[in-house]
């Protein structure tokens, strides 16, 4: 780390949700390596314990959709000195049904986690972020929130809502000098996203089959790290990132085996 970057990250602290796996875990590692104080938040305590031991992050098991957990999380972070950055990574997809075959439970889960969870934790931490004078909120959305595709209606709906919420928050909090950043990745190969969505390892593997160099969790974490460490007056409103093989949601180049 250079002297300039040491100064830039001095006393920087962040809450990172979805920290037990994938992009959230990679983001915790990226920020901790830069000297940040990181509060790693997820439901799975055992995974957070390993991450804490390896990175020095502060593990706080919590479900961001539960009001009591959010209140407990806020109290723990406040007692530990607070943060100036909130990074909302937690989210996900369930199912790939077309609208005519929509599973209500899957839709409710996606809305609860991607939209209501982001809202609840952001609402809770906004007073703290305002008080710092230079707060940051970064929401991880998806290219699914920018363009619809067949079989994606439920996830599209949830991520479009999260995308809209992010834009509204930016307008509402500009007067409080809070910058609001959206990172919208395309195809990212992580250990759990496609598996959780499709419920089958073989089906999940087919999502990435033949795709040369899909994005990795580390790729996205590097962009997140950059976005929250540039000087505070710089707001990267929206960052769309895809692998080169994915020209659009509906166009993905697959090589023959």
Per-residue exposure over 132-165, b if at least 16 CB sit within 10 Å of its own CB, e if not: beebbbbbbbbbbbbeeeeebbbbbbbbbbbbeb
**For residues 147-165, average pLDDT:** 96
Q: According to the model, what pLDDT value does residue 163 have? A: 98
Query: Quick check: is 197 in a domain?
Result: yes
For 186-234, write each residue's pLDDT tens digit: 999 877 676 677 777 777 677 778 888 999 999 999 999 999 999 999 9
Has residue 179 been placed in a domain?
yes
Q: Identify whether 35 is part of a domain.
A: yes
For residue 12, the model assigns a pLDDT of 94
By residue range, what is the domain housing residue 130? 3-252
Look at residue 257 and tell me if it is in a domain.
no
CATH code at position 30: 3.40.50.720
**pLDDT score of 98 more than 50:** yes
Verdict on whether the full-model pTM lies above 0.95: no
Q: What pLDDT score does 257 carry?
A: 61
Is residue 14 over pLDDT 50? yes
Give the count of domains, the chain.
Answer: 1
Percent of the chain at pLDDT above 90?
Answer: 81
Query: Quick check: helix, strand or coil at residue 85?
Result: strand
Distance (Å, rounded) from C-alpha 233 to C-alpha 173?
A: 14
Which residues are the active-site residues? 155
Residues 246-257 have pLDDT tens digits of 999 889 999 876
202: left (phi over 0), alpha (psi -120 to 50) or beta: alpha
């Amino acid at each position: 780390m250079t002297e300039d970057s040491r100064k830039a990250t001095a006393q920087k602290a962040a809450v990172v949700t979805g920290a037990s796996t994938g992009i959230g875990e990679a983001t915790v590692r990226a920020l901790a390596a830069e000297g940040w104080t990181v509060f790693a938040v997820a439901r799975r305590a055992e995974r957070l314990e390993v991450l804490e031991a390896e990175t020095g992050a502060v593990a706080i098991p919590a479900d961001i959709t539960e009001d009591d957990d959010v209140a407990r999380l806020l109290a723990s972070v406040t007692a530990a000195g607070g943060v100036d950055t909130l990074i909302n990574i937690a989210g996900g997809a369930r199912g790939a049904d077309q609208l005519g075959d929509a599973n209500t439970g899957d839709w409710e889960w996606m809305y609860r986690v991607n939209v209501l969870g982001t809202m609840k934790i952001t609402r809770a931490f906004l007073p703290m972020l305002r008080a710092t004078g230079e707060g940051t909120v970064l929401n991880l959305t998806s290219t699914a929130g920018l363009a619809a595709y067949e079989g994606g209606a439920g996830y599209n709906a949830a991520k479009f809502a999260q995308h809209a919420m992010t834009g509204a928050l930016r307008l509402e909090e500009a007067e409080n000098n809070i910058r609001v950043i959206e990172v919208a990745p395309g195809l990212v190969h992580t250990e759990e996203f496609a598996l959780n969505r499709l419920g089958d390892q073989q089906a999940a593997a087919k999502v990435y089959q033949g795709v040369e160099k899909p994005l990795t969790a580390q790729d996205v974490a590097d962009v997140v790290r950059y976005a929250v460490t540039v000087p505070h007056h710089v707001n990267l409103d929206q960052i769309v990132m895809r692998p080169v093989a994915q020209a659009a949601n509906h166009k993905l180049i697959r090589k023959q085996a």
